[in-house]
Structure 1
Amino acid sequence: MRIGVVFPQTEIGADAGAVRAYGQRVEELGFRHVMAFDHVIGADPEVHRGWSGPYDVGSTFHEPMVLFGYLAALTSLEMVTGIIILPQRQTVLAAKQAAEIDLLTGGRFRMGVGLGWNRVEFEALGQDFTTRGRRIEEQVTLMRRLWTERSFGFEGEFDRITGAGLAPLPVQRPIPIWFGAQSPPAYRRAGRLADGWFPQMAPGPDLAEAKAAVDQAAARAGRDPASLGMEGRMAWQGDPDALAALAGQWREFGATHVSVNTMKAGLTGVDAHLAALETAAEALGLGKP
């Protein structure tokens, strides 16, 4: 089971030096990958009265693809979007950016994708919120062709390509696509289409039910459920023993990856996040032969 970290988007600030220090220290501690959340723009609660979203115009979000291009020059970590809100982005441009990150990292990139929840963001990016489920399925099909074919034509509901292709192609052909999943339709979509998935719950009965739904959808699509990766998330709560126990639970559930999330733990500044991760790395046995 590979262990990584969740980049503390909303708490690391805008200093490039802090981003650099975080990425380099995470690798030194023995973590294998860094995952980043995605939001392009935030809603202003003063304008959108009654706003109840977890993030708003004051929430810091570094753009994941640009961030990963920067970190690729500084570390050998695997880069993971967890997730990119794919239906609000142009498909071909997202595929191009992903191919570039895959090249810059030498094939150490997983593209986690999801539907998103923020109508304000979809409006600002010129995309239809109501068709995002259908659109993401077409996007996944198209991106896999873009990453493996030199030139082709495509006529879909949302995108059209006439005799064109990406150059250079990525190292991984195709790049692994993982799905965020927290509802029955999302479980079925992950089973049919994804290379792996990100459960949005802790180990327990709900996870067992979700995993069974993903596995069943994969089998119905003629796929081997055992071939799908699964990445759990572990919130840092200041207790290294509890973290190690949780990692063991994820391992028992068959997780191929887990990531430690230090956001919303009352930590201030990059040094505090890194200190927590140093304790976490020791508890998890990272860096030991």
Structure 2
Amino acid sequence: MRVGVSTFVTDEGIKPDILGLLLEERGFDSLFVAEHTHIPLSRRTPYPGGGELPRKYYRTLDPFVTLTAAAAATQTLIVGTGVLLLAQRDPITTAKEVASLDHFSDGRVIFGVGVGWNEEEMENHGTNPRTRGRLVNERLRAMIEIWTRDSAEYHGEFVDFDPIASWPKPVSKPYPPIYVGGGRRAFARVAEFGDAWLANGLPPERLAPMMEELRRVAGREVPVTVFGASREREVLEEYERLGVDRVLLDLPTLPEPETTELLDELSGLVDVFL
């Protein structure tokens, strides 16, 4: 079972190039970063975690700038979006950003994607929250066309463009792995697009039956990465017994000295599960 980290990189915490280097030096396999373009101050949509929305949500850096910095400082570290909010993004621009990062990093990109939860944030981007699932599916299909065809076109309900040329094409073939985030309602999306399911912080006892359900829906084995995983060794051992492919330990947003100290503590888990 591979061990990486998932985190919010902000202007108040450790810089992404230094974080990437620290992770690679300690044997972590990957860095996944969250995305929020902004936070509407109305705060109409409740925070799924309950209580006040944490400060880090307001201050996230752009994921592609962040991951480019981390990739530039490392040689083997996988860099991933966890998750990119595709319901809030133009698919043509996003396809180029993903392919450019994949080109720059020599194929070290994982494209983690989700539909999001903050409805007013979506609305600010012109997205109807009621149809965001169908929108994301179309944008994924359109991006795959752009990545895999010299002359790409797509005609759908939400995405519509005549033949276009867009380079670079991804180094990863046929394109970077797509990790689909979400719960049961995302299983059909995982089945269609997913190289893996990105399960958000589910404890082993809840994850096990959902993995079985996903196998039935997808009609195949789907690798599972647990996002925001517990740091408790006993819990991680349960994930390994379930056949989880990767755990992403939840890394708080802290300045460099505190982050370094914490990663030194967590690096022992990498040795256990490699």
Q: Same fold (TM over 0.5)?
A: yes
Q: What are structure 1's unaligned runs of at least 5 residues?
A: 220-224, 238-242
Matched, 1:178 2:179: yes
Larger RCO of the pair (alpha carbons < 8 Å, separation 6+): 2
Task: Give 1:18 shift.
Answer: 3.1
Once residues 112 and 169 of structure 1 are traced to their aligned partners in structure 2, the CA distance between those partners, rounded to angstroms, is: 18
Other-structure match for 1:240: none
Other-structure match for 1:13: 11
Once residues 79 and 234 of structure 2 are traced to their aligned partners in structure 1, the CA distance between those partners, rounded to angstroms, is: 25
Q: 8 Å contact 1:42–1:55 — kept in the other structure? A: no
1:285 to 260, 271, 274: 271
1:182-221 paired onto structure 2 within 5 Å = 182=183, 184-219=184-219
1:125-274 paired onto structure 2 within 5 Å = 125-172=125-172, 173-182=174-183, 184-219=184-219, 225-226=220-221, 228-233=222-227, 235=229, 243-263=232-252, 268-274=254-260
Other-structure match for 1:98: 98
Q: Count residues in correspondence.
A: 267
Once residues 36 and 164 of structure 1 are traced to their aligned partners in structure 2, the CA distance between those partners, rounded to angstroms, is: 30
Q: Secondary structure at the match of 1:245?
A: helix
Once residues 256 and 287 of structure 1 are traced to their aligned partners in structure 2, the CA distance between those partners, rounded to angstroms, is: 11
Instruction: Give the % identical residues.
Output: 25
Sort the Cα spacing of 1:117 and 1:50 in 2 relative to 1 into closer, same or farther, 3 A.
closer
Once residues 103 and 269 of structure 2 are traced to their aligned partners in structure 1, the CA distance between those partners, rounded to angstroms, is: 33
Task: Give 1:187 shift.
Answer: 2.3
Q: Secondary structure at the match of 1:3?
A: strand
AA partner of residue 31 (structure 1): F
Once residues 17 and 111 of structure 2 are traced to their aligned partners in structure 1, the CA distance between those partners, rounded to angstroms, is: 22
Q: Secondary structure at the match of 2:83?
A: strand
Q: Secondary structure at the match of 1:140?
A: helix
- For each residue in 1:232-260, what CA deviation from the matched residue of structure 2 results, as whole angstroms up to 9, or x when unmatched? 135566xxxxx322222111111111111
Task: Give 1:14 shift.
Answer: 4.2
Other-structure match for 1:24: 21
Sort the Cα spacing of 1:49 and 1:8 in 2 relative to 1 into closer, same or farther, 3 A.
closer
CA RMSD of aligned residues (A): 2.4
Task: Give 1:108 shift.
Answer: 0.7
Q: 8 Å contact 1:38–1:84 — kept in the other structure? A: yes
State the TM-score, normalizing by the size of structure 2.
Answer: 0.88
1:31-180 paired onto structure 2 within 5 Å = 31-44=28-41, 48=42, 52-53=46-47, 54-55=53-54, 59-76=58-75, 77-172=77-172, 173-180=174-181
Q: 8 Å contact 2:187–2:218 — kept in the other structure? A: no
Once residues 8 and 88 of structure 1 are traced to their aligned partners in structure 2, the CA distance between those partners, rounded to angstroms, is: 18
Task: Give 1:50 shift.
Answer: 6.0
Moved more, 78-87 or 188-197: 188-197
